[in-house]
Amino acid sequence: MTTLVIGAGLVGAQVARILIEAGERPVLFDTAPQAEALAEHFDPAKAAMEVGDILRPLTLAAAIQRHKITRIVHTAANPMLTLGAQRDPYAAINLNIMGTVNVIEAARAFGIKRVVVSSSNVLNHFVAGGDGSNDPMRETAFPRPTTFYASTKQAIESLGLNYARWHGIEFAAMRYGAVFGPWGGAGGGGPSNVMKEAVRRALEGEEAVLPAGAMEWVYSKDAGMGTVQALGAKDLGFGVFNITMGVLAKPEDMAAALKSAIPGAKVRIETPAAAAVSLPDMKAVSDLSLAKKTLGFAPKYGLVEGVKDLVAWMKSRKS
């Protein structure tokens, strides 16, 4: 069993760590691996590293062949996720959609069955419409994504499910909530960087700025765990899974979590301008029952535990 972990960032690092802790030697594949940031999470000698690009499919094929890959996790993403896709839709569409198609086609070509890809629970929150009440005969039948990033995630879910239906790929799409967690490299999305900056400021005695809207988060270690569970699940069933904390955190909850990890932390609640589009005021919480039933997923980290773990990690790096 050899797993190719495509994209070695905030989430990919956790997937690799969990696989290593389970006794595997995963192969990481990234255009620009951040060796130092990765080494904070696992011993580099326990994984292989390939520099490659999912938009150059032969680099992918070479890695698959060289390491006799038997299953794939795909977490590669364009920089700054929603924000990045709003700024440069073409690049995001190309990477997220064609990149994912290249990954699944490579799996087909090499007889690899299981492909687990990162979707996003923006598909639960950044959607509008659906006035046609699910009647496919009406143009307005279904809600549609309201950002480029969410549109690309909807496309890859649909394409992946059709590869499963028509070509025998065992496809799973993981709808992570806004991810935050320990990661010293570049990357992550708007929310993870806002959370990390808030913790950094609170630790330095500065005022931390927290988003004004309610948010559905997931800790990166749980995002990694859900992903690894999808790699190992006997039957993937429907194939699309919500992977979140399962709660809608209000700004006051975030402030309380920060203050419980850093007593005396000063907090201001407002939406940081740069991250506004990726920090909407979320109205409902995702249903985790399918992920629980099919994958055995249950988040280990709530907001308080996640912030505590992140604070401990940030403190440990300073010492």
Ligand X SMILES: NC(=O)c1ccc[n+]([C@@H]2O[C@H](COP(=O)([O-])OP(=O)(O)OC[C@H]3O[C@@H](n4cnc5c(N)ncnc54)[C@H](O)[C@@H]3O)[C@@H](O)[C@H]2O)c1
| Of the candidate residues 4, 5, 12, 230, the single one contacting ligand X (CB under 6 A) | 12
Secondary structure element (H or E) that encloses residue 148, with its range: helix 148-167
Q: Residue written as tokens 């499919």?
A: 57
**Which of these segments, 132-140, 183-191, 263-271, 295-303, binds ligand X (CB under 6 A)?**
183-191
> Does residue 103 bind ligand X (CB under 6 A)?
no
For residues 54 and 59, what is the distance between their CA atoms, to the nearest angstrom? 7
Distance set, CA 186 to CA 9, 10, 32 (Å): 8, 9, 10
Quick note: the x/- pattern for ligand X over 189-228, rule CB under 6 A, is x-xx------------------------------------
Q: What is the largest CA-CA distance in the chain?
A: 62
Length in residues, the chain: 319
> Does residue 92 bind ligand X (CB under 6 A)?
no
| Of the candidate residues 5, 11, 261, 275, the single one contacting ligand X (CB under 6 A) | 11
Q: Residue written as tokens 């690899």?
A: 112
For residues 257 and 305, what is the distance between their CA atoms, to the nearest angstrom? 8
Residue nearest to ligand X (CB): 9
Q: Residue written as tokens 């890695």?
A: 63
**How, if at all, do strands 170-176 and 114-118 pair?**
parallel
> Quick one: 28 or 202, whose CB is closer to ligand X?
28
> Does residue 82 bind ligand X (CB under 6 A)?
no
| Of the candidate residues 4, 5, 8, 72, the single one contacting ligand X (CB under 6 A) | 8
Shortest separation between residue 119's beta carbon and ligand X, angstroms: 7
Q: How open is the CA angle 96-97-99, to the nearest 5 degrees? A: 70
Quick note: the x/- pattern for ligand X over 111-140, rule CB under 6 A, is -------x-x--------------------
**Chain residues in the site for ligand X (CB under 6 A):** 6-12, 30-32, 53-55, 75-77, 81, 95, 99, 118, 120, 176, 178-179, 187-189, 191-192
